[in-house]
Structure 1
Amino acid sequence: MRNLNGKTVIVTGGGGGIGGATSRRFAEEGARVAVFDMNLEAAQKVVEGIRAAGGVAQAFQCDITQRTQVDTAVAAAEAALGPIDVLVNNAGWDVFKPFTKTVPAEWDKLIAINLTGALHMLHAVLPGMAERKTGRIVNIASDAARGGSSGEAVYSACKGGLVALSKTLAREHARQNITVNVVCPGPTDTALLAGVAEGARDPAKLLEAFRSAIPLGRLGQPDDLASAIAFFGSDDAGFITGQVISVSGGLTMHG
């Protein structure tokens, strides 16, 4: 990937499956990676792996639903690693049940993590990018936002909002050389998917149904997503903004 060497990258939810793979991929490309996660132990484990491979990374504990924590973590990351060049809004959470079976407390948590958390991060990072007139933002949504997904109504709504937000920010900041793009994972072999499956009547049957529905015949792996995310964060994608790409093995083929 062009021009990632020496860049400073924040990855939220960086201690998880997709976030960890993304953090490692950016580090492999020579970037300095700030691994944000509310689970500091998970973030530190990712950082240890990056450093063992010769990369540069630092862990930061951050609950993205809390603006004061976001501001503190962003300031600490910039002090340690330099001004933020790339922001990857990856942190997310889901609950798998029909909408009428959900309760308002679940809506609040879903919105706080999947939408408001990204707003906090964007609001904290964008002013610096705008002042420097450069930046890359990659928001991780979901194919649930593009085609709907039974049992994920509020999650889908949040991710749909993130897609719309991304397109608007792409327009607002294009003249400042800031690109904003979206990666939509399909079913991916992560702890989040495992948690969704556990809520099903027959978890093994549900996972097999996902595999069978995917034209390429397998679940996505975190590294599949990391490649697309790193591309959007690099100068190889310097003339691409406001776009949404599905990484789903062909499960969805939106125009």
Structure 2
Amino acid sequence: MNTITPENEGRETGSSTLASRALSGRVAIVTGSTSGIGLAILEELARAGAHVVMNGFGDRAELAVAAGRIAASHGVDIPFHGADMSRPAEIADLVKLAEDRFGRVDILVNNAGIQHVAPIDTFPADRWDAVLAINLSSAFHATQQVLPGMKRRRFGRIINIASAHGLVGSPFKSAYVAAKHGVLGLTKVTALETAEMGITANAICPGYVWTPLVEKQITAQAMSHNIDRAEVIRNVLLAQQPNKQFAEASEIGALAVFLAGETARSITGATLSVDGGWTAH
């Protein structure tokens, strides 16, 4: 197990304490939270007052700085665990860290994911297995680990980050589409099994979200097709997204905060699209 405990984590500071603290004292795990959507969700949960375990890959020194900044800004505790989400034993250790440190897990956000693009007939078997392991099986294993405690306390929020590709298909993304469809099925079953226990399970389905990874894709596509960035954005990446705008990662974070709160207690088994109308076709 790898843990990072920044020296200034948990310190109350300045203006952030004036923000809404709807999740004050709650404990969350966000998988795949060292960048992009996961990091934005982590920060929004922290802003709402939750202690959050950060998980993912990256440079340890940079992660310590990021965790320390968020912890200090919002007066919460943000330890780090470097679990490989394709390995069930490491997922169990990730949950154990949260339970040992905070005594419980109230909120689980299954966000970890990878992508590989290839036609089905040439799709590498090892890539299929990896995408299914991290995008789907990790959500099952993490949910399985946190549910016993949530059932005992009769409170829990499980938020699965799926995708518009959990609802529609796209060529060359067989493993990703299959995994995200599976995440929606897992969400529904979890919701049904826990409906009388104070636990909710919901899935957020983003379309294209502005992240550093998308920025790299725009540059690569522009160079590959010899077209300008605006054309890549509108006619390639956002071709299926009717509003022709990227969602911001903070929008996904804000929705996760809402789903984690008391006012969402009657929302369970739901699929919530944040895709600019993509799946309205």
> One fold, TM greater than 0.5?
yes
Distance 1:86 1:43, change over 3 A: farther
**Which residue number in structure 1 is paired with residue 53 of structure 2?**
34
Residue 27 of structure 2: which of 8, 16, 34 is its match?
8
* Number of positions where the alignment pairs a residue of Structure 1 with one of Structure 2: 254
Runs (4+) off by over 6 Å: none
Q: Which amino acid counterpart does residue 208 of structure 1 have in structure 2?
A: R
Tell me whether 1:241 sits opposite 2:268 in the alignment: yes
Tell me whether 1:24 sits opposite 2:43 in the alignment: yes
Residues 68-106 of structure 1, C-alpha deviations (whole Å, 9 max, x = no match): 111112111222233100000001000123222311111
Question: Which aligned pairs between 1:48-87 and structure 2 lie closer than 5 A?
Answer: 48-56=68-76, 57-87=78-108
Question: Which aligned pairs between 1:157-176 and structure 2 lie closer than 5 A?
Answer: 157-176=178-197
Tell me whether 1:98 sits opposite 2:149 in the alignment: no
Q: Does the residue aligned with 2:273 lie in a helix, a strand or coil?
A: strand
Distance 1:198 1:81, change over 3 A: farther
CA separation in 1, counterparts of 2:178 and 2:220?
20
Residues 102-149 of structure 1, C-alpha deviations (whole Å, 9 max, x = no match): 111110111111111111111111111112111000001111110112
CA separation in 2, counterparts of 1:93 and 1:196?
14
Kept after mapping to 1: 8 A contact 2:41/2:252: yes
Kept after mapping to 1: 8 A contact 2:164/2:278: no
CA separation in 1, counterparts of 2:257 and 2:278?
22
Residues 160-184 of structure 1, C-alpha deviations (whole Å, 9 max, x = no match): 0110011011000111111000000
- CA drift of 1:46 comes to 3.2
Distance 1:151 1:27, change over 3 A: same
CA separation in 2, counterparts of 1:68 and 1:160?
25
Q: Which amino acid counterpart does residue 101 of structure 1 have in structure 2?
A: T
**Which residue number in structure 2 is paired with residue 134 of structure 1?**
155
CA separation in 1, counterparts of 2:213 and 2:126?
19
Question: Which aligned pairs between 1:124-203 and structure 2 lie closer than 5 A?
Answer: 124-194=145-215, 201-202=224-225
CA separation in 2, counterparts of 1:192 and 1:141?
17
Tell me whether 1:231 sits opposite 2:232 in the alignment: no
Could you tell me the percent identity over the aligned residues? 33
- CA drift of 1:54 comes to 3.2
Q: Which amino acid counterpart does residue 30 of structure 1 have in structure 2?
A: G
Tell me whether 1:208 sits opposite 2:234 in the alignment: yes
CA separation in 1, counterparts of 2:101 and 2:264?
27
**Which residue number in structure 1 is paired with residue 8 of structure 2?**
none
> What 5-or-longer segments of structure 2 have no aligned partner?
1-19
Between 145-154 and 13-22, report the one with greater CA deviation: 145-154
Kept after mapping to 2: 8 A contact 1:84/1:129: yes
- CA drift of 1:197 comes to 5.6
CA-based RMSD: 2.2
- CA drift of 1:194 comes to 4.9
